[in-house]
Amino acid sequence: MADIASDTMPAPRSAASRLRRMHRFDHLFHRLTLVCALFVLAMFVALVGSLLRGAWPAIEAFGFSFLWTEAWDPVREVFGAAAPIYGTLVTSLIAMTIAVPVGIGIAIFLTELCPRGLRRPVGIAVELLAGIPSIIYGLWGFFVLAPVLQTSVQPWVIGIFADVPILQNLFAGPPYGIGMFTAGLILAIMVLPFITAITRDVFETVPNVLKEAAYGLGATTWEVVWNVVLPYARSGVVGGVMLALGRALGETMAVTFVIGNAHNIAVSLFAPGTTISAAIANEFTEALGDLYFAALIELGLILFFVTFLVLAAAQFMLYRLEARAGGRA
Amino acid sequence: MKPIAYALAGLGLLLLGCQDQGAADAGNEAAATADASGVAISGAGATFPFPIYSTWAASYRDLTGNAMNYQAIGSGGGIRQIQEKTVTFGATDMPLTKAELDEHGLLQFPTVIGGNVMVVNIPGIEAGELILDGATIANIFLGQIINWNDPAIAALNPGVELGDLPIVVVHRSDGSGTTFIFADYLSKVSPAWSEQVGAATAVNWPVGLGAKGNEGVAGNVGRTVGAIGYVEYAYASQAGLAHTRLVNSEGNAVSPSVESFMAAAASATWNAEEGFGTLLNDQAGAESWPMAGATFILVYKQPVDVVATAEALKFFQWAYASGDDMANDLHFVPLPDTLTAEIEASWTQVAGWGG
């Protein structure tokens, strides 16, 4: 660039002015990116601010007891968020329990074990899964998955655990087909591609030299994956899991279809429940009365904080992992 | 499947929210400039009458060039939007009281009637075979009757064999006018329901599964043996579910039909002073279906845009006169002519209405 400039414009004065201009441009660019970054912060503050303002009537009426009150009675205007908070956390927990091992397993298979010819088709199929709109998952869950669970899977599971303490309560009937377990299962299927796609990409960044060295030392495939690939790709894997968790916590349509939408806390995972986003989506349109409306907005505010807390906790865990790994090395 | 398409359309509108409002306004303006005689009417509110309002609007536009833009954002949203004067008319399934109307200077009138029916999934029970009454339904939805072999059900159905089958209650999870009509009916016939639950577009359900939309309730009842739920009349036949007969206030077991809804509408006292805020639940009349209600429109008596409001009333005047067949096609029940005459008489309170 500089050479060309000196060829076409030999005058030194002109070169200096060009430099000044470029400097000004740099300065402007710096400012522009700063504005973009500040814009995100401003959006964040505005969002929290408007949620707080909208939720104020409910905050004023119920105070902190909103968090642990189970009742949700639009007629008498008594509202509490305990059931939706519980449902949100439990369904996300079920989803992650299933999706994390399976998703990472698929990624390991694709990068380490899969025959070359199969790699692309399976990879593309996983990416396509990530692009399916959530309402499709909801319809599929409601019309296809729920009847299967209701007629075969749930009665079978209830039968198996009928005499096992604790588990008999966790998997108690009647088998509705829809409920918190079904919602967790649908969420697991929905977040699976996120985990797989991201972990596969980071697994592919693991240098072959490292793996070959480990194999050279006589390590088995399992040992290579567990001791070389996973530690190397750790932060990327956690990033994928967190993205998936974020989606699971906030997912609305698919959950609404299959969770049963009951504002109560039941021990059984087969019982109907509700999540924060499902409750908002369900009731927002016909929420007559200021307090009802405010209670729904407060639910939104709570989801905001729940997501923040969960992601912060995940971040903290990652930090501790890094610190421990660093100490060992 | 039409119902799902409507639900999706309504949902899309809901999700788009405010943007949609802007876009709709822009559309209206474009229509107004394109056709010099065209006047833009905008309305927002209840999702339940959305299919019939949009059908009427399309025919009306072909006829007159006047566009009527209706956004199915829900009754709550409709009431809020008319109070903020962002739309020409609001629409609600739950009528406002006279005090609420007077406070904001609003006029209220009904447009069409919809009925609720109970649907059940019991092996061997055909449509119209089972008979239920209000008190029994209330006890089922309160969780006090939990099996189909309960003596209370047997007493209503001599000769019908109902075995040992647990009842699965299915209700709406989203706030809805259908729920309001249902809960209001149970409040009228069951003191226990009135005391413990009450009536609103969403209530604190003692038992049961919540399903989204009429199609959700129909779907859940359809695939759960022992289930009972309430849906709009149109859905019961479309989903191929077995509806029940209901015992009305005069002790007759009646079947749901346009005729029995009309009978309920004819027996009702519609009071223009009260904004016609009558529900058709538990009405007198030997043939009256006990569970039905109208859906309502709200306009200002002293509107900001006098021309648009007058045009909106003209639209509904045309709909009363020529829209009955379209309503019937979509399983809505048109209002009796005596009532529409009364409604049109009440419009003289609106500034700028010349008839």
Complex-level ipTM:
0.73
Q: How close is the nearest chain B Cα to the Cα of A145, in Å? A: 12
Task: Look at B199 and A75 and tell me if their CB atoms are within 8 Å.
Answer: yes
* B343 Cβ under 8 Å from any chain A Cβ: no
Q: What is the CATH number of the domain that holds B244?
A: 3.40.190.10
Give the chain B residue nearest A177 (alpha carbons).
B224
Q: Within this chain, do residues B130 and B103 fall inside the same structural domain, yes or no? A: no
Distance CA B74, CA B52 (A): 15
Q: Which domain holds residue B238?
A: 116-272
Which of B241, B272, B303 represents a domain boundary (last residue)?
B272
Mean pLDDT, all residues of chain B: 84
Residues B131 and B222 in one domain: yes
Q: Cβ–Cβ of A74/B204 closer than 8 Å? A: yes
Residue of B nearest to A280 (CA): B174
Q: Which among A274, A286, A293 is the nearest to B75, CB-wise?
A: A286
Name every chain B residue with its beta carbon within 8 A of the beta carbon of A274: 173, 210
Residue of B nearest to A180 (CA): B209
Q: Do A284 and B168 touch (CB under 8 A)?
A: no
Of B237, B272, B307, which residue is a domain's last? B272
- Give residues with Cβ within 8 angstroms of B24, minimum separation 6: B42, B69, B71
With an 8 Å Cβ cutoff, is B76 touching chain A?
Answer: yes
- For A192, other C-beta atoms within 10 Å of its C-beta total 21
Inter-chain touch B205–A286, beta carbons under 8 Å: no
Cβ neighbour number for residue B319 with a 10 Å cutoff: 25
For the ranges A53-57, A136-140, B149-153, B274-278, which has the lowest average pLDDT? Answer: B274-278
Please indicate, yes or no, whether residues B66 and B180 belong to a single structural domain of this protein. Answer: no
Percent helix, strand, coil in chain B, to 5, is 45, 20, 35
Question: Distance between CA atoms of B268 and B264, rounded to whole angstroms?
Answer: 6
Residue B60 in contact with residue B42, Cβ under 8 Å? no
Contacts of B199 in chain A (CB under 8 A): 75
Report the C-alpha gap between A109 and A99 in whole angstroms: 15
Distance from CA of B264 to the nearest CA of A (A): 26
Does the beta carbon of B108 lie under 8 angstroms from any beta carbon of chain A? no
Residue B151: CA atoms inside 13 Å, Cβ hemisphere, count? Answer: 0
**Contact A285/B208, CB-based, under 8 Å?**
no
Which positions ≥6 away from A113 have C-beta within 8 Å? Answer: A221
The answer as to whether B66 is a domain residue is yes
pLDDT class for B13, splitting at 50, 70, 90? very low
Interface membership of B224 toward A (CB under 8 Å): yes
Q: Fill in the amino acid letter for A129.
A: L
What per-residue string of b and e applies to B144-157 under the rule 16 or more CB within 10 Å gives b? ebeebebeebeebb
Q: Do A287 and B202 touch (CB under 8 A)?
A: yes
d(CA B33, CA B50): 26
Same domain? For B128 and B256 the reply is yes
Question: Is B126 found in the same domain as B84?
Answer: no
CB-CB under 8 Å, B200 with A288: yes
Residues of B with Cβ-Cβ distance to A284 under 8 angstroms = 14, 74, 76, 175
Query: B319-345: per-residue pLDDT in tens?
Result: 999 999 998 888 888 988 888 999 999
pLDDT over 50 (residue B7): no
Same structural domain, B125 and B255: yes
Higher pLDDT, A76 or B139: B139
CB B172, CB B178: distance < 8 Å: yes
- My answer on whether B319 and B192 are in the same domain is no
Domains in chain A and their CATH numbers?
62-328 (1.10.3720.10)
For residue A77 the two structure tokens come to 């205007």
The answer on pLDDT for B81 being more than 60 is yes
Contact B204 A76 (CB under 8 A): yes
Answer yes or no: is B285 within a domain.
no
Contact at CB, A286 and B209, closer than 8 angstroms: no
The model's confidence at residue B268, banded by pLDDT at 50, 70 and 90, is: confident
Confidence of residue B12 (pLDDT cuts 50, 70, 90): very low
Distance from CA of A191 to the nearest CA of B (A): 22
- Chain A residues touching residue B103 (CB < 8 angstroms): none
From the number of C-beta atoms within 10 Å of its C-beta (0-12, 13-18, 19+), residue A153 rates as middle
| B215: amino acid identity, one letter | E
**Number of domains forming the structure of chain B:** 2
* Tens-digit pLDDT profile for residues B296-308: 999 999 998 888 8
pLDDT in tens, chain A (329 residues): 445 444 555 556 688 888 888 888 888 999 999 999 999 999 999 999 999 999 999 999 998 999 998 888 888 889 999 999 999 999 999 999 999 999 999 999 988 888 888 888 888 888 888 889 989 999 899 889 998 998 888 888 888 888 888 888 888 878 888 899 999 999 999 999 999 988 998 998 899 899 899 999 999 988 999 889 988 888 888 888 888 998 899 898 899 889 988 888 888 899 899 999 999 988 887 777 789 889 999 999 999 998 888 888 877 877 887 777 665 54
Does A284 contact B14 at a Cβ distance shorter than 8 Å? Answer: yes
Cα angle at A59 between A57 and A60, to 5 degrees? 65
Task: Indicate whether B181 belongs to any domain.
Answer: yes
- Residue in chain B closest to A147 (alpha carbons) equals B223
pLDDT value for A242:
87
Partners of A283 on chain B (C-beta within 8 Å) are 174-175, 202
List pLDDT tens digits, range B83-103.
888 899 999 988 888 898 999
Q: Are residues B48 and B160 in the same domain?
A: no
**Is there a single domain that holds both residue B104 and residue B126?**
no
8 Å CB contact between B167 and B228? yes
Domain membership flag for residue B187:
yes
Count of A–B CB contacts within 8 Å? 104
pLDDT at position B213 is 82
Q: Is-contact B323 B334, C-beta < 8 A? A: yes
My answer on whether B248 and B309 are in the same domain is no
Residue of A nearest to B212 (CA): A257
Question: Which residue in chain B is spatially nearest to A262 when comparing CA positions?
Answer: B210
CB interface of B with A, residues 179-198, below 8 Å: 197-198
- Comparing CB atoms, the residue among B168, B174, B197 nearest residue A282 is B174
In-domain check, residue B75:
yes
Is B278 an interface residue toward A (CB < 8 Å)?
no
Q: How far apart are CA B28 and CA B35, in angstroms?
A: 11
- Choosing among B204, B205, B207, B217, which should be mutated to test the A contact, i.e. which has the most A CBs within 10 A? B204
Tokens at residue B265, please? 């509408």
Interface test with A, best of B201, B221, B228 (most A CBs within 10 A): B201
- B288 is a domain residue: no
Distance CA A266, CA A214 (A): 49
pLDDT for A97 equals: 95
Query: In this structure, is residue B278 part of a structural domain?
Result: no
Same domain, B92 and B153: no
In this complex, do A74 and B79 lie within 8 Å of one another by their Cβ atoms? no
The model carries a pTM of 0.77
Q: Which of A75, A150, A261 sits opposite B210 (nearest CB)?
A: A261
Tell me, yes or no, if B168 comes closer than 8 A to chain A by beta carbon: yes
Same domain, B104 and B137: no
